[in-house]
Amino acid sequence: MRADQVESPLVVESAIARRPSVAFFMSDVEHGGMQKSLIGLASALVAAGHEVCLVLQEARGEMISLVPPSIEIVDLRKSSNQRSLVPFARFLDQWRPAVVITGSPHVSLIAIAAAHLANHTAAVIVTEHAPLRPLVSRHGGWRYRLLPLLVRLVYPYASAIVAVSEGVAVDFRCLVPAARRIELIHNPVVAANFEELASRPVSDFWCAANDPPLLIAVGRLAPEKNYPNLLAAFAALLKRRPVRLAIVGDGPEQEALLRLARELDLERHVRFLGFVANPLPLIKKARLLVLASEFEGFGNVLVEALACGTPVVSTDCPYGPREILADGAYGVLVPVGDVDALCAGMETALAAPIDVPRLIQRGRLFSEARGIKNYQLLIESVVAGSD
């Protein structure tokens, strides 16, 4: 059953589940690493025997098709965080989950407040997928300027904070010194069916060609991903050798990036593919994956590339890339915002031999099985602590 509104009657099972029930709470399921990670986590918890529900402030976004039918979707139909407070508290009283897992600061604040407003007691696990300070600097506005203060005041009431990288964990240990517990759990990226998904044929004829070498970038077309620098570095590389670039993702910067590609005379050499539900065959086909971000919380796509045996060039941004690539042992790290260094890094990586088994072995360290086990242990621990 899929509920369209929280106001609709929800069926609450009287039998006690074998494992704690879990509600995921997000604003939407637009394309993004956080949304993809939490949908994957929710699906894995269902497979592990948990009853799982996905609550959305608005049931919109390309990734809604990735939610399996076994997960009930509850649409609060609220366009703002503040308006979702009371409906989400009402949902908690009706569905009565043992645990709530959230995925962004604004939504996490609402979830913690709702858990205290509701009559039903639910443990709240906040997952943090990005460093807060650059997020605030990038977006500005009063809603973001107030965020660090609100996080410092409200997050201590969460049962646990999960950081997806050590850098994010350090940030939040400093920001929320009164937090009950802060756990480091890497995103569970490499699922059991990863190889099957990655081995599917590439349907796009241009990308399927073997020559010249295909470079790929995967991620939302948003300012923090710094695609203008990537296009400038790629244009410089193109003057030295024949290459192609496929960009997977959509977002607010799309029109500006299309204009920039035309200005740089890259139209024959760059393809914008938009949102792709399963980009793994493209990543596996590529000679190189490139990440030009100004900041990341983790960098799922770097793990996906390694697990496909595809070499990586990434900016050494806070915080995930250096951790995933082991200080550059498994990929090329370049300074953030340096077009010349990014171009040189791509040229170096293209010239280097590829040790595919070594890359795959590194990528598979970030397996879904390991991540789910850590989440299950945390869920059982916070539920026991709230009894």
Per-residue confidence band for 62, with pLDDT thresholds at 50, 70 and 90: confident
- Distance in angstroms (rounded) separating the CA atoms of residues 160 and 126: 6
Per-residue confidence band for 87, with pLDDT thresholds at 50, 70 and 90: very high
Q: Among 40, 37, 67, 36, which Cα is nearest to 54's?
A: 67
Domain at 22-188+367-386, CATH from 3.40.50.720, 3.40.50.2000, 3.60.15.10, 3.40.50.2020: 3.40.50.2000
Q: Is residue 108 a contact partner of residue 29, using CB atoms and an 8 Å limit?
A: no
Q: What percent of the chain has pLDDT over 90?
A: 83
| pLDDT 10s digits, 132-141 | 887 777 766 7
Q: Is residue 76 a contact partner of residue 6, using CB atoms and an 8 Å limit?
A: yes
Residue 14 confidence (pLDDT) above 50? no
Q: Taking the C-alpha atoms of 148, 153, 156 and 159 in order, what is their torsion angle to the nearest 10 degrees?
A: -80
**pLDDT for position 383:** 94
- Distance in angstroms (rounded) separating the CA atoms of residues 313 and 343: 10
Residue 156 confidence (pLDDT) above 80? yes
- Distance in angstroms (rounded) separating the CA atoms of residues 293 and 222: 10
| pLDDT 10s digits, 106-128 | 999 999 999 999 999 999 999 99
Q: Where in the chain is the domain with CATH 3.40.50.2000?
A: 22-188+367-386, 194-366
- Distance in angstroms (rounded) separating the CA atoms of residues 70 and 74: 13
Round the average pLDDT of the chain to a whole number and report it: 92
**pLDDT for position 68:** 93
SS3 assignment, position 29: coil
Structure-token pair, residue 171: 């940030």
Residue 30 confidence (pLDDT) above 80? yes
**pLDDT for position 301:** 97
Residue 15 confidence (pLDDT) above 50? no
Summarize the confidence of residues 352-369 as an average pLDDT. Answer: 96
**pLDDT for position 140:** 67
Residue 1 confidence (pLDDT) above 70? no
**pLDDT for position 82:** 83
Q: Is residue 317 a contact partner of residue 277, using CB atoms and an 8 Å limit?
A: no
**pLDDT for position 186:** 95
- Name the strand (E) or helix (H) holding 270: strand 270-274
**pLDDT for position 4:** 41
Per-residue confidence band for 18, with pLDDT thresholds at 50, 70 and 90: low
Per-residue confidence band for 16, with pLDDT thresholds at 50, 70 and 90: very low
Report the topology of domain 194-366. Answer: Rossmann fold (3.40.50)
Residue 9 confidence (pLDDT) above 50? no
Cα Rg, the chain, nearest whole Å = 21
| pLDDT 10s digits, 213-263 | 999 999 999 999 999 999 999 999 999 999 999 999 999 999 999 999 999
Q: Which of 236-240, 294-298, 303-307 has the lowest mean pLDDT?
A: 294-298
pTM: 0.89
CB atoms within 10 A of CB 136: 17
Summarize the confidence of residues 76-103 as an average pLDDT. Answer: 93
| pLDDT 10s digits, 206-216 | 999 999 999 99
Identify the residue whose tokens are 């960098």.
Answer: 299
Per-residue confidence band for 386, with pLDDT thresholds at 50, 70 and 90: confident
Structure-token pair, residue 214: 């295909």
Name, in order, each residue with C-beta under 8 angstroms of 383's C-beta and a sequence gap of 6 or more.
20, 98, 99, 123
Residue 5 confidence (pLDDT) above 50? no
